[in-house]
Structure 1
Amino acid sequence: MKIKSLLFLLSLGVCSNTFAQFQQNNPGSNHGNKFEQLETIIRDPNMYRSASGAPGPKYWQQQADYEINAELDDKTQKLTGAETITYTNNSPDPLTYLWLQLDENEHKATSDNQAFDGSKMNSKMSANQLNGIIGGVNDFGVNILKATDASGNPLKYIINQTMMRIDLPKTLAPGAKFVFKINWNYKITDRLSVGGRGGYEYFAEDDNYLYTIAQWYPRMAVYSDFQGWQNKQFTGRGEFALTFGDFKVNITVPADHVIGATGECQNYSSVLTAAQYNRWKQAQNATEPIEVVSLAEAKNAMKVKATAKKTWTYIAKDVRDFAFVSSRRLIWDAMKVNVEGKAPMAMSYYGPEAYGLYRKFSTKVIANTLKVYSKHTIAYPYPVAISVEAANGMEYPMICFNYGRTEKDGTYSEATKYGMIGVITHEVGHNFFPMIVNSDERQWTWMDEGLNTFCQYLAEQEFDNNYPSRRGPARMITDYMKLPKDQLEPIMTNSENIINFGPNAYAKPATALNVLRETVMGRELFDFAFKTYATRWAFKHPTPADFFRTMEDASAVDLDWFWRGWFYGTDPVDISIDNISYYQLDSKNPDLENAIAKRDYENANKEIGRKRNRESGINFAVEADTTLQDFYSKWDRFAVTTTAKENFNNYYAGLSATEKKIYDSKTNFYQIDFTNKGGLVSPIILEWTFTDGTKEVETIPAYIWRKDENKVTKVFAKAKPMASVKLDPYLETADIDISNNSFPRNYEPTKFELFKQQQSIRGASGGGNPMQDAKKNGSK
């Protein structure tokens, strides 16, 4: 193994202290570290992955096609399936076995993820917490009924936790296909009590279930050029690395259930009523959402509960996964969206408790998401995009599960509204990362969550210029970046090893990309490079190096220092203005200089003793006896003499044209001392305020730190005198301490409250629901 490859592999999961060893090219020095190139950290380019960041001339990836027949038992909450997998070996390697993922096995009592986290006793413990400690036996997990080849011959297999190995009867040569069958079943879990992405939610008030079925069938693991088989177990956090393929899925459910799924349904005409089918056809040309299944129909189905069954058939092409929702308590609305010359259907499925929010917002939020993401990545290629309300937040190709329910009276808080819009945008956005740009989520969570959160921020801001985005703006990440180092890890850390998962894998990379776009690269260069990355790696398997290289290749901006600091390090941004020195050119003009000298002399001689002596009425000797006075007693030391004027005129006449231009400009020079207190190098952005009230903003590139990464001094020439100067005026660099950003120092008061002490009820809710308050008062 090459040393560079070894360094790269080690760098993915080490602690921050070890990481620093790989960053320091010139340890012990104040330079030669943060601006060195990444060659010793990232993987060498090769015939599969080019140095430009593009797929190489011999790039390959595997394909897995599925035909699945599944049946959902609404009485026992059991899912049964039989699938046929056609696996194509496009790699140059002969394969003697195949690996599949059995993600439902994460719920088994014997699974490692049930035991490898620490636990503590508290003064109050829930049943779920105690059951987690007690452990024991459960009947969760996938039951493999049989595995055979296409002819029905048994295949040898072994199950290791959430992974299943099929031993091939003969070696699968490069370019060959292998067809095999698996029959299985599993008990669907109560998602709200057991946890996990898929499962059911039970509604006791109407005795019905909502099934969000995900990670539900044995799925092929990825075999790639950069790591062979993806073999990290699924523990519930690190998500999925999956192989692209085509799907045909038949799903049998109670006849009154409504299904939404990955792909296009092939038999709406037989599973919908005539009225519903007509509405579906209308929706295909609608620009406003049309209810295909109405609220009244859903409420009626919740009461009647059919005993017959129906089978829904779906086809999905070039997808990496398949998921679906099934329930009799679903409203379904849909409309067409015009996206870059394509016309996908935006569709939402939701229960009555979400009607007041989802009917108004969900499908239109899907449309906005598809348009904004398509502009910044690739035109949305799939025929549908679905949002399902399931008190959840999880994504799959063409379908995602989100939250957003009203109060019983139909009102909702502003936080619920924006939270719902944000999660729909985020989960629909996952169609682009990683469903299309198919990175390995289990290894590099930031490559899908971080990139997607960044695009979510763009979509939120295009939805509403006043949208209260929580992730993306630089100022929102500072509380995380100022944490002690033992609570931090680099973005380039394996998913399972991250302490503060949301800030690290979602918010920090999204912020980094926003800083790149707005501050380091500029929108034009960034947008072109980002779109180039998405275009290059659509329907392929990129790695971090492919992203880093493409962003530089398409922009001609050297960003190695940025990746080192933001992605491989834990240092924060904290630049301090330590001192400012003011310089003016010596004019040598006695009319000016003598006046200044007089002012300075008088100021220097304003001694408190002299002032009080005069005020006390002392009779000074030289005033009482005028014979003590001489020439110097009456001499004006600051008077302008003829000789001084002649000397100045001769001086000015002797200046060159260039020197006269500088002289006549009357430029003010300000020498500023900066300290990089945080350690993360960053551009220096200054807002100058001049004595006439005008302002000027200027940016110094981060490269100013390359010769001294700790301290730098720079002189600025200004035509007008300065009143004050401020660092990072728009809070765009994520500076964690703005108290040292101003000169003169600007101290913001910390407010406190004067209150009447009173006993409050423990657990009482704070804040409120203004919509509910207005409704009580009779307002709209």
Structure 2
Amino acid sequence: MYLKSFLVSFSLLWCSFVADAQQSESYFDGDKSPGSYNYTETFGGSVYTRTGNQYRSASGKPGHAYWQNRADYHIDVALDEKLKTVSGTELLTYTNNSPDDLEFLWLQLDQNLYKQGSRGLNTVPLTGSRSGNKGQQFDGGYAIKFAKLVDESGKETELNCMIDDTRMQLMLPEPLKAGGGSLKLKIEFSFTIPDYGSDRMGILETLNGKVFSIAQWYPRMCVYDDILGWNTTPYLGPAEFYLEYGNFNMNITVPANHVVVCSGELLNPEEVYSPDQQKAWAAAKRSDETVVIRSEKDARNASRPVEGTKTWRFKMENTRDVAWASSSSFLIDAARINLQEGRTSMAISAYPAESAGKLAWGRSTEYIKASIEYYSAKWTEYPYPTAINVASNVGGMEYPGIVFCGSNARGSALWGVTDHEFGHIWFPMIVGSNERLHPWMDEGLNTFINELSTAAFNKGEYDKGTRNMRKWTSLIMDPSMEAVATTADNMKERNTAYLSYYKPAIALSLLRENVLGPERFDRAFKAYIERWAYKHPTPDDFFRTMENVSGEDLSWFWRGWFFNNWKLDQAVTGVSYVKNDPANGVLITVANLQKMVMPVVVDIKLKSGSVSRVQLPVEIWKRNKSWTFQYPTNEDVASVTIDPDQSLPDVNTDNNVWKVKN
């Protein structure tokens, strides 16, 4: 009896469903639109490959047992201007906070990139590379005199040292204990400075002396984490860095006529600056306007040969790296950076006379100050005592508290590179992602925030206005490109700018403006920064935080923009009147023809000239290739336009507009 009643009821229900489906087929035809869109693929569940655990929460937060190791450095180093060498000794204190005993340690020897026969040089194509040596005949790399273990009594034990390309493995006499075990390493090193160091460091010739921009200059600890254990991916040039946090003390000895600028706080200004320069330095700390500390006349006088050396002393706390620059030719100016609750930092510019002038580096300090004040107020506070911009033969490269920018940059170009490199303080200096594997996590996020800061700077002095996304379509949706999630070493160099910088920045802009809205996006983005400040987030941690704080499942977005090289093509495919009468309203059909999806915006222009806008959520594509909706009107429609603001990188705009035929 029950079965028979059920079958009768099911039969009646099925007949009703078929009738309804036949009646509405022209409205909701989800399977007959042309194109490659497959909604089960685009909305194919979670993108995450692992569940949350005690180290990394499923919510995107660090887990309750999150850990990371620590590296503290005391470095004594000297610059030989004539030989173009750096030599010194580092005392490295390494703390193992992991749950694992460590039988050996790995360090990064990035200067070995410049050793003839290195993997990096051997992967430079005949056409050249930004990461190569630009044809210079140069055989660099570290000379490691020794690496010793120093015990609590000061006794030194030389360690078995195995160097392979840009990595050095040190075998320990006994394992370094888990959960806080600590040891001290003493390493003596030297290297010859490349004139052009992969656009990250180098030597600039100027009228009043050479500018030495020094980075990747000391053996640095590799990161040991809960994702890969030891991160020992070799340095090939394109991919950047992944480093542990710690405190630094540095004594830098240079020719007596040089000025040194370095990450962190200068500890002995009274020993290295003249009395007048010290007064100007103190004035700059209190000034919102740029104060000259070392003039062009000072630089000319210092260009004469001198005997002897000076030692500049610096310290930097809770940082993943340090860099420095030294020159007799530096003009130095500075101003105060205003932070929250009365705290301050100091914007400093160091550049040769050739770069001076109000149309050029004379505005550098103004740019530093504006950039850092904006990001500090918008996201989280700038953490360092100084922010230094160095005019260099490096086109643009970032380090904690100091950046190298092209000495020939002017106007908007100088603003752009300065703002970009200081934006990197937030990504990856504060939020310490693994640049070696995930370049978009620093370059893409930084390029995104640069758009906001440029719009805000000096009432939009360099702002180009609303970005027409369609101009970017052919560049960021080129089918020959790799996916954004590709490592820098694994993508064509010509694609790096688009995939590491622009495409992820555009994606985040669209997520902010077209999907979440600025309020929800900014809250989630700021939460990511605050959660992972001075820690090591993965892509999953970013994605999970954005989803959990905003309250949206964004798997479809990450899948389309980051994990695949998909294209977007929204189209207007049909316009008709209900019962062929405008008085009954109009039926509009839109379609998604490629694999990427986005929410839909449609403008409907009536014969009278009035325009109305309809916004449809991305969920219409969850089980449909096309979607028909009814718009209430009692007059003829003149045109229907999808994406009327041209805010989406649509690959085929020919199908974006329907117009009445005359």
Structures share fold, TM-score greater than 0.5: yes
Instruction: Choose from 564, 571, 577 the match for 1:576.
Output: 571
| In the alignment, structure 1 residue 729 sits paired with structure 2 residue 634 | no
Q: Tell me how far 1:471 sits from its aligned partner.
A: 11
**Counterpart position of 2:483:** 490
Matches of 2:255 and 2:635, distance apart in 1 = 78
Give the residue type in structure 1 aligned to 2:168. Answer: M
Whether contact under 8 Å (1:387, 1:424) holds in the other structure is yes
Whether contact under 8 Å (2:38, 2:595) holds in the other structure is no
Q: Tell me how far 1:29 sits from its aligned partner.
A: 8.9
**Counterpart position of 1:393:** 396
Instruction: Choose from 67, 83, 108 the match for 1:101.
Output: 108
Q: Deviations over 1:455-494 (max 9, x none)?
A: 11111111143635599763443121342x2x21111112
SS in 2 for 1:387: strand
Matches of 2:327 and 2:338, distance apart in 1 = 29
Q: How does 1:141-290 map to 2 (within 5 A)?
A: 141-150=141-150, 151-174=155-178, 175-191=180-196, 195-203=198-206, 205-206=207-208, 208-290=209-291
**Counterpart position of 1:442:** 436
**Counterpart position of 1:294:** 295
Give the residue type in structure 1 aligned to 2:222. Answer: A
Q: How does 1:530-569 map to 2 (within 5 A)?
A: 530-569=525-564
Instruction: Choose from 467, 475, 479 the match for 2:474.
Output: 479
| In the alignment, structure 1 residue 425 sits paired with structure 2 residue 397 | no
**Counterpart position of 2:42:** 34
Matches of 2:104 and 2:584, distance apart in 1 = 75
Q: Tell me how far 1:382 sits from its aligned partner.
A: 1.5
SS in 2 for 1:435: helix
SS in 2 for 1:33: helix
Q: How does 1:40-79 map to 2 (within 5 A)?
A: 41-79=48-86
Structure 1 range deviating more: 355-364 or 225-234: 355-364
Whether contact under 8 Å (2:78, 2:86) holds in the other structure is yes
More strand, by proportion: 2
**Counterpart position of 2:312:** 312
Give the residue type in structure 2 aligned to 1:215. Answer: Q
**Counterpart position of 1:503:** 498
Matches of 1:292 and 1:43, distance apart in 2 = 54
Q: How does 1:512-531 map to 2 (within 5 A)?
A: 512-531=507-526
Q: Tell me how far 1:676 sits from its aligned partner.
A: 2.0
| In the alignment, structure 1 residue 674 sits paired with structure 2 residue 593 | no
Q: Tell me how far 1:286 sits from its aligned partner.
A: 0.1
SS in 1 for 2:158: coil
Give the residue type in structure 2 aligned to 1:190. Answer: D
Whether contact under 8 Å (2:90, 2:187) holds in the other structure is yes
Q: Tell me how far 1:141 sits from its aligned partner.
A: 0.3
Whether contact under 8 Å (1:481, 1:736) holds in the other structure is no
Q: Deviations over 1:194-215 (max 9, x none)?
A: 6341121223x55x21100000
Scaled by the length of structure 2, what TM-score is found?
A: 0.88
Matches of 1:350 and 1:128, distance apart in 2 = 24
| In the alignment, structure 1 residue 462 sits paired with structure 2 residue 469 | no
Structure 1 residues without counterparts, runs of 5 or longer: 1-27, 122-126, 407-415, 587-665, 747-780
Q: Tell me how far 1:426 sits from its aligned partner.
A: 0.5
Q: Deviations over 1:241-293 (max 9, x none)?
A: 00000000000011121111110000011100000000000001101010111
Give the residue type in structure 2 aligned to 1:503. Answer: Y
SS in 1 for 2:306: coil
Change (3 A) 1:584 1:273: farther
| Alignment root-mean-square deviation, CA | 2.3
**Counterpart position of 2:368:** 366
- In our comparison, the structure showing a higher alpha carbon Rg is 1
Q: Tell me how far 1:744 sits from its aligned partner.
A: 1.6
Change (3 A) 1:172 1:266: same
Structure 1 range deviating more: 376-385 or 151-160: 376-385
Q: Deviations over 1:440-464 (max 9, x none)?
A: 0000000000001101111111114
Q: Tell me how far 1:43 sits from its aligned partner.
A: 2.6
Q: Tell me how far 1:706 sits from its aligned partner.
A: 0.7
**Counterpart position of 2:22:** none
Matches of 1:115 and 1:153, distance apart in 2 = 35
Structure 2 residues without counterparts, runs of 5 or longer: 1-35
Matches of 2:173 and 2:640, distance apart in 1 = 74
Structure 1 range deviating more: 730-739 or 417-426: 730-739
Q: Deviations over 1:38-85 (max 9, x none)?
A: 25x433211000000000000000000000000000111110010000
Give the residue type in structure 1 aligned to 2:121. Answer: Q
Between the two proteins, what is the percent identity of the paired residues? Answer: 38
Change (3 A) 1:283 1:272: same
Q: Tell me how far 1:541 sits from its aligned partner.
A: 0.3
Change (3 A) 1:739 1:266: same
Change (3 A) 1:52 1:255: same
Alignment coverage as a number of residue pairs: 612
| In the alignment, structure 1 residue 716 sits paired with structure 2 residue 631 | yes
Scaled by the length of structure 1, what TM-score is found?
A: 0.75
Matches of 1:294 and 1:670, distance apart in 2 = 72
